[in-house]
């Protein structure tokens, strides 16, 4: 009888021990899940450095998880790319106006002043292969939540600043056009309006819908937003419903900016193809139209990446290279002018041709 009692006690001890271990494991798993959820939110809000710390803490909390490695790797890639991007954008922001390429004016038509025989139509010079069209580049349109951060100060343009800049463009005779307009102008099939300009926004931040779209409706100007197509469920980014609403307005066009915003030059060819063609397919599926234009994340590209974009069926692509002259044969490496959130309206005006 005593032996039976001891066996029961031993079984109960083992049972309670297992329950304790299981409860501890469940608690650790739940704790790590909460850390991952917070890290995912920070990653979506473009704060990879803090997200990495939380991913690592989640892995330490529950080492047996295998679903942390992929988001951790993506956050590390994003952080490395942002550091690279910061170096590049700082040099862009500090570039004085006189170092920007001088616009080249090419006449569309030549009408001879005299001719030995009457002509029924004017002599036509071959259509231009290059045009002076500044492509402005924006990111966040909101009040900068981290004013002490130099990169954030660069990338954040307030709604008031954008309002003043759009008002300036309208009052000084600039005409916003689309990339398809630009391509047709370069091919010579249409004549662009006086002082054409393209306004681009990268990443698909929700602040564009909230703060920029109403201003484009106010001034009836056109813009192009380059979308990261796997971020539509993240709170900081626009939803597909918002994207479809703006597309239907006729004022906002959309281009592809990959699925996950990686530095394409660091990835395998298979992954690059998925990022490039996948983002094009995502947009075409949701908008029910062809997508023709692409933006390289962080402005990073090489020959392999450019060829992938060409093979995907895009008409052209934009970079973060500095310039305002667009060349037909260079349409997969179109330069832009980054709008710095620290600029005054005078600074903004001085960057325009």
Number of Cβ atoms within 10 Å of the Cβ of 285: 10
* Dist. CA 293–CA 182, nearest whole Å: 12
SS3 assignment for 224-277 = EEEECCCCCCCCCECCHHHHHHHHHHCCEEEEECCCCCCCHHHCCHHHHHHHHH
- Give 205's DSSP letter: B
* Per-domain residue ranges of the chain: 2-81, 104-110+124-350
CA angle 241, 257, 180 (to 5 degrees): 85
Number of Cβ atoms within 10 Å of the Cβ of 277: 18
* Dist. CA 290–CA 2, nearest whole Å: 82
Collapsed DSSP state (helix, strand, coil) of residue 144:
coil
Q: Where are the alpha helices (DSSP H) in the chain?
A: 2-44, 48-61, 69-93, 150-155, 159-171, 179-187, 206-207, 213-219, 240-249, 269-287, 303-311, 345-350
Q: How much is the pTM?
A: 0.72
- CATH pick for 104-110+124-350 out of 1.20.1250.20, 3.40.50.10490, 3.30.365.10, 3.20.20.370: 3.20.20.370
Question: What string of pLDDT tens digits covers the 353 residues of the chain?
Answer: 555 576 767 777 677 777 767 766 677 778 778 877 777 777 666 677 777 877 777 777 777 777 777 777 666 655 655 555 555 554 444 444 434 443 333 333 332 333 333 333 333 444 558 999 999 999 999 999 998 888 899 999 999 999 999 999 999 999 999 999 999 999 999 999 999 999 999 999 999 999 999 999 999 999 999 999 999 988 899 999 999 999 999 999 999 999 999 999 999 999 999 999 999 999 999 999 999 999 999 999 999 999 999 999 999 999 999 999 999 999 999 999 999 999 999 999 999 98
Collapsed DSSP state (helix, strand, coil) of residue 2:
helix
């Amino acid at each position: 009888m005593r032996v039976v009692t001891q066996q029961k006690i031993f079984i109960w001890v083992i049972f309670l021990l297992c329950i304790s271990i299981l409860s501890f494991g469940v608690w650790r798993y739940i704790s790590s899940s909460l850390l991952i959820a917070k890290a995912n939110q920070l990653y979506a809000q473009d704060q990879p450095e803090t997200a990495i710390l939380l991913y690592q803490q989640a892995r330490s909390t529950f080492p047996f998880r295998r679903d942390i490695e992929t988001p951790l790797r993506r956050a590390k890639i994003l952080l490395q790319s942002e550091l690279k991007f910061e170096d590049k954008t700082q040099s862009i922001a500090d570039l004085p106006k006189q170092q920007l390429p001088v616009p080249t004016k090419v006449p569309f038509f030549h009408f001879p002043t005299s001719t030995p025989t009457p002509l029924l139509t004017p002599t036509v010079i071959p259509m231009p292969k290059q045009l002076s069209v500044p492509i402005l580049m924006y990111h966040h349109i909101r009040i900068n939540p981290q004013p002490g951060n130099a990169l954030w100060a660069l990338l954040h343009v307030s709604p008031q600043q954008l309002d003043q800049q759009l008002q300036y463009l309208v009052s000084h005779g600039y005409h916003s056009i689309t990339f398809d307009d630009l391509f047709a102008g370069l091919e010579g099939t249409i004549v662009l309006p006086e002082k054409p300009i393209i306004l681009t926004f990268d990443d698909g931040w929700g602040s564009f819908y909230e703060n920029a779209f109403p201003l484009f409706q106010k001034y009836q100007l056109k813009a192009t937003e380059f979308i990261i197509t796997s971020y539509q469920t993240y709170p900081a980014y626009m939803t597909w419903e918002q994207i479809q609403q703006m597309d239907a307005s006729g004022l906002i066009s959309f281009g592809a900016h990959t699925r996950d915003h990686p530095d394409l030059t660091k990835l395998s060819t298979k992954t690059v193809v998925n990022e490039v063609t996948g983002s094009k397919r995502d947009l075409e599926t949701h908008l029910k139209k062809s997508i023709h234009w692409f933006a390289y994340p962080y402005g990073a590209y090489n020959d392999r990446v450019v060829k992938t974009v060409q093979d995907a069926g895009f008409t052209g692509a934009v970079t973060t290279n500095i310039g305002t002259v667009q060349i037909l044969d260079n349409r997969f490496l179109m330069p832009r002018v980054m709008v710095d959130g620290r600029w005054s309206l005078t600074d903004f005006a001085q960057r325009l041709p």
